[in-house]
Amino acid sequence: MHDLTLAELAEALASRACSSEELTTHLLARIEQHDGELNSLITVDADNALAAARQADAERSAGRAGRLTGVPLIHKDIFLTAGVRTSCGSRMLKNFVPPFDATVVERCRQAGMVMLGKANMDEFAMGSSNETSYFGPVRNPWDLTRVPGGSSGGSAAAVAAGFAPVATGTDTGGSIRQPAALCGITGLKPTYGRVSRFGMIAFASSLDQAGVFARSAEDAALLLQAMAGFDPRDSTSAELAVPDYAAALTQPLAGLRIGVVDEFFGEGLDAGVAGALEAAIGVLQGLGAEVTRVHLPQLGLSVPTYYVIAPAEASSNLSRFDGVRYGYRCEAPKDLEDLYKRSRSEGFGAEVKRRIMIGTYVLSAGYYDAYYLKAQRCRRLITDDFRRAFEQVDVLVAPSAPEVAFRLGEKADDPLKMYLSDINTIAVNLAGLPGISVPAGQIQGLPVGLQLIGRHFEEARLLNVAHQFQRETDWHRQRPARFA
């Protein structure tokens, strides 16, 4: 049962081949049995999950079921869940139980989905390897000595290991696409504004976007459908109609103009990854797509630009964790200043502190123009590059990550090396564009991801290309042997 896609499970539930209670019981047992090895979940919510599953079965018997009714999922622990601890991977929120649901959580619930638990993640979504979590690192199901990617590494590992057919994640600089690539699954980061950020703990508000992990593009389409759309509680949520994503999947690719981003295929890209991607591009060509090379000349600016803007916004967002209102509070503070200082020193981990310091510095009087303002100008140049590229082509292709999953600890002491893991994904966030990573090969048993990038709000097209690619290939059907 755990090997089926969401689409197949929805069918099994609809035909009564299984009940949601049976399915939920099976997946909870699997998590119990195997998650000790992966550490992909911070909280397993078995009692509520079983209650929700029974409720879903009752709705179905009463003839009120939708397509997703009774389908289990896992939420990244960055989404607020009413009554269920939401830690954001931090000691700061280790015991925080939110009073309300994030919009994403609420919409999945309204669609009848069953939440199994909350996925491990890098602390406050800062990281590319899931090693900065207060709750310990997540391991890659394909090789337990390697990282699953980050920051949504728990969500990606859980889906790859068959703990749930789908999971949610967030992507500020690559945190859906990069772990999807490293874990051999499909991960979609929608356009900024497509999915509500309400109730999603803020890291860098102008970049953060919620998205989905799945075992196929079709499944990603089904989950995105449930999550997407305007939310009056998020002022940056787009007031645009949501297309029928599933209906768009079947469109043939003949005549589609695909641009291979030259700058992404140069220095720094692993030769094996480059080879796998060349083959994948060949598959798209075989489907009738016209492939050309395009340039994004300012791409080299994206990592430095991001590492000014994201910490700046983070330093501001994380000022709310002061030991007073909610979250961790130090023992026996001497006075108010001591309370702030020690609560934050003890509550935040090293990477979060590094970001707060960088952010505070680049926003400070005297440095603001030299760093923050300049970064905003670079952001515009990068966005303009994409705009020009999309005058020539419909979809861009790039690697999702420069290499396959690296070893735990390999980059943990070198922030610059770690930051370069996102070199292929960050520019897309700076421009607010949608991107998807699909499994497109393997190197010595480790998955490779192909990234497709679209125009603003053209998720349907990305899902369409990804689905057509998956009809021709079976990389997305490979499962890690250990979790078969």
Instruction: Kindly name the residue from 87, 151, 315, 421 that is annotated as catalytic.
Output: 151
- Reading the block at residue 314, the tokens are 């983070």
Contacting residues for 39 by C-beta, under 8 A, at least 6 apart: 120, 135, 136, 137, 138, 139, 154
**Strands ordered across the beta sheet of 435-443:** 41-44, 114-119, 72-76, 166-170, 210-214, 186-189, 435-443, 446-454, 395-399, 257-261, 290-294
Q: How far apart are CA 218 and CA 236, in angstroms?
A: 27
Can 61 be counted among the known catalytic residues?
no
Among 112, 137, 154, 173, binds ligand GLN (CB under 6 A): 173
Stretch that binds ligand GLN, among 170-178, 248-256, 275-283, 394-402 (CB under 6 A): 170-178
94 in active site: no
- Of residues 19, 86, 87, 151, which one binds ligand GLN by CB under 6 A? 151
Hey, which residues between 341 and 400 contact ligand GLN (CB under 6 A)? none
Distance CA 338, CA 345 (A): 10
Site string for ligand GLN, 191-230 (x = CB under 6 A): ------------x---------------------------
Q: Cβ contacts of residue 266 below 8 Å, gap of 6+? A: none
CB of 210 to ligand GLN, least distance (A): 11
Distance separating alpha carbons of residues 138 and 405, to the nearest angstrom: 12
Q: How far apart are CA 469 and CA 397, in angstroms?
A: 13
Q: Which is nearer to ligand GLN, 241 or 416 (CB)?
A: 416
Q: Does the annotation count 353 as an active-site position?
A: no
**Using rule CB under 6 A, residue 127 touches ligand GLN:** yes
Q: Minimum Å distance from CB 170 to ligand GLN?
A: 6
Q: Is 167 in the site for ligand GLN (CB under 6 A)?
A: no
Q: Which of these ranges, 64-72, 122-130, 242-250, 400-408, lies near ligand GLN under the rule CB under 6 A?
A: 122-130
Residue 422 found at the interface with ligand GLN (CB under 6 A): yes
Q: Does 126 bind ligand GLN (CB under 6 A)?
A: yes
Rg (CA), the chain: 21
Per-position b or e across 97-114, b if 16+ CB within 10 A of its CB: ebeebbbbbbbbbebbbb
**Binding to ligand GLN by residue 168, rule CB under 6 A?**
no
Cα dihedral across residues 72, 78, 82, 83: positive or negative: positive
We find the least distance from the C-beta atom of residue 17 to ligand GLN, in angstroms, to be: 38
Record the tokens describing residue 310, joined without a space.
């994201």
User: Cα–Cα–Cα angle for 348, 353, 355, nearest 5°?
Assistant: 130
Place of tokens 């002491």: 413
Q: Which of 171, 231, 313, 394 binds ligand GLN (CB under 6 A)?
A: 171
* Closest C-alpha among 155, 133, 161, 150 to residue 406: 150
| CB closer to ligand GLN out of 291 and 420 | 420
When binding is defined by CB under 6 A, the residue of 5, 86, 128, 468 that contacts ligand GLN is 128
Residue 425 Cβ vs ligand GLN, minimum distance, rounded to whole Å: 8
Q: Which is nearer to ligand GLN, 10 or 119 (CB)?
A: 119
**Residue 446: enclosing H or E segment and its boundaries?**
strand 446-454
Q: Are residues 203 and 420 in contact, defined by beta-carbon separation less than 8 angstroms?
A: no
Cis omega (within 30 of 0) on the bond before 151?
yes
| Of 175 and 302, CB closest to ligand GLN | 175
Q: Based on CB atoms, which residue is closest to ligand GLN, 172 or 470?
A: 172
Nearest distance in Å: CB 249, ligand GLN: 26
Q: Does 310 help bind ligand GLN (rule: CB under 6 A)? A: yes
The single residue among 69, 81, 175, 302 that binds ligand GLN, judged by CB under 6 A, is: 175
Q: Give the number of other Cβ atoms within 10 Å of residue 383's Cβ.
A: 15
Site residues, ligand GLN (CB under 6 A)? 125-128, 151, 170-175, 203, 310, 422
Catalogue the active-site residues: 76, 151, 175
